[in-house]
Amino acid sequence: MAKQGGKVLNFIAWLTGVIVSLAVGFALIGGTISVPYIGVVNVIAGWVVVVTTVISLILVILRQ
C-alpha cells in the first residue's frame, strides 16, 4: 500500500511542477514577472521554460 501512496504523491508533485513551470513561463513571456537586468532575455527564458515543459509532457505521455 505504501508504494501506491508514493506513486500518487510523486504524480501530484510532478503535476504541481508542470503547472508552476507553465505559470512562470507564461508570466515571463507576458512580462508579468521578470529577472532584473536581463531585459529581452526574460521572454526567451519564458519560451524555453514553456517549450521544455511541453516536451516533457509529451515524453511522459509517450512513455505510458
pLDDT digits (tens, 9 = 90+) for 12-59: 999 999 999 999 999 999 999 999 998 889 999 999 999 999 999 999
Domain residue ranges in the chain: 2-63
* pTM value > 0.85: no
- Confidence grade of residue 63 (pLDDT, cut at 50, 70, 90): confident
Residues across the chain: 64
Q: And the C-alpha cell for 49?
A: 521554460
Cα–Cα distance between 6 and 52 in angstroms, integer? Answer: 25
**Residue in this structure with the C-alpha cell 521554460, named with its chain if needed:** 49
CB 35 within 8 A of CB 42: yes
Q: Using the predicted structure, report yes or no on whether residue 1 has a pLDDT greater than 60.
A: no
Residue 2: pLDDT above 70?
A: no
Q: Which of 55, 46, 44, 43 is nearest to 23 (CA)?
A: 46
